[in-house]
Amino acid sequence: MSDVDQQRALVAQACRVAAARGLVDGILGHLSLRVDDEHLLIRCRSDTDTGVAFTRPSDIRLIRFDGTAGAAGELDGYRVPNELPIHVEPLLSTPAYRAVARRHPPAVVAADLAGITIRPIYGAYDIPGAWLARRGVPVYERAVLIRNSRLGKEMVAAMGDAPIVICRGHGITSAADTIQQAVLQAISLDQLARMSLRVRSAGGTPHDIDDHDWDDLPDLGPAFNTDAAWRHEVARLGDDHPN
């Protein structure tokens, strides 16, 4: 299997992980992975598409940043997502980003529409999530289809230096160095939103954890935070191979 084929399989697997976690439903949502300075792999749609939960490696197509086929036949029978700028603009703005995940977690959308700001309301329950929230989760305050570079740049401006942004009344965009990190960030954000909604529904008010607690919330490293966490997500799918 070539490197590109391995990457196709990984992006397809990440789509299925996101669907299994409830971050997407039906046919909406897409992920991308930068291949080089001119190409990316992205989940595309076809007339045989059965939804994100059933993404196949063949649904992941190699394209150029302008949306044209990255090689002969890559877009035969496939269409790039309307929201391609959601992927291209973060990748162009921040070279450290190699992967972008566009997700639609209902809990995040609901929490934002309810006026709940995502904050670090817990600590060791999910340390990477807590640190993600401590940095602040920005909001792009337009519920539009981001289908051109102008809107994509607006979203990136709202994102600032954060790796994730809530798009009001729409979903989230998560960017990272790896496709695993992009999806795991989205999972952490979803868990924070779910917990915030639970606290509110129980009659409570979400509060940030104590400032003194941060010294005892260490970075446990990628072997635990990413590698072990991803193995678990793959095992939940029942996939035979993590890649």
Q: Using alpha carbons only, what angle is made at residue 191 by residues 116 and 194, rounded to the nearest 5 degrees?
A: 50
Tokens (6 digits) for 42: 């992205």
Q: What pLDDT score was predicted for residue 243?
A: 36
159 close to 90: Cβ distance less than 8 angstroms = yes
Q: 83 lies in a domain?
A: yes
Please determine, for residue 241, whether its predicted confidence score (pLDDT) is greater than 50: no
- Provide the sign of the torsion angle of the four alpha carbons 116, 120, 122, 124, taken in this order: positive
CA distance 50 to 26: 8
Q: What is the mean pLDDT of the chain?
A: 95
DSSP notation for 28-55: --EEEEE-SSSEEEEE-B-TT---GGG-
Domain that holds residue 228: 3-236
Please determine, for residue 242, whether its predicted confidence score (pLDDT) is greater than 90: no
CA distance 129 to 122: 9
Q: 241 lies in a domain?
A: no
Confidence of residue 182 (pLDDT cuts 50, 70, 90): very high
Q: 152 lies in a domain?
A: yes
Q: 242 lies in a domain?
A: no
Q: 49 lies in a domain?
A: yes
Q: What's the number of domains the chain is made of?
A: 1
Distances (CA, A) of 69 to 62, 79, 114: 7, 10, 41
Q: What pLDDT score was predicted for residue 239?
A: 65
Residues 25-34 have pLDDT tens digits of: 899 999 999 9
Q: What pLDDT score was predicted for residue 22?
A: 96
Q: What pLDDT score was predicted for residue 1?
A: 60
Q: What pLDDT score was predicted for residue 43?
A: 98
Confidence of residue 9 (pLDDT cuts 50, 70, 90): very high
What average pLDDT does this structure show over 9-25?
96
Out of 38, 74, 83, 154, which one is annotated catalytic?
A: 83
Residues 120-149 have pLDDT tens digits of: 999 999 999 999 999 999 999 999 999 999
Residues 28-64 have pLDDT tens digits of: 999 999 999 999 999 999 999 999 999 999 999 999 9
Please determine, for residue 106, whether its predicted confidence score (pLDDT) is greater than 60: yes
Better-predicted residue by pLDDT, 183 or 1: 183
Q: pTM of the entire structure?
A: 0.94
| CATH number of the domain to which 216 belongs | 3.40.225.10
Alpha helices for the chain (secondary structure H): 3-20, 84-93, 106-113, 127-134, 149-159, 179-201, 222, 229-237
What is the side-by-side strand order in the sheet with 60-64?
60-64, 39-43, 30-34, 99-103, 171-176, 164-167, 139-140
Q: What pLDDT score was predicted for residue 2?
A: 77
Q: 243 lies in a domain?
A: no
Please determine, for residue 16, whether its predicted confidence score (pLDDT) is greater than 80: yes
Please determine, for residue 88, whether its predicted confidence score (pLDDT) is greater than 50: yes
CA distance 14 to 32: 10
What average pLDDT does this structure show over 213-236?
96
Q: How many helices (H) and strands (E) in the chain?
A: 8, 7
- Residue 73 phi/psi, 5-degree rounding, is 85, -5
Q: 187 lies in a domain?
A: yes
74 is catalytic: no
Q: 79 lies in a domain?
A: yes
Percent of the chain clearing pLDDT 70 (strictly above) = 98
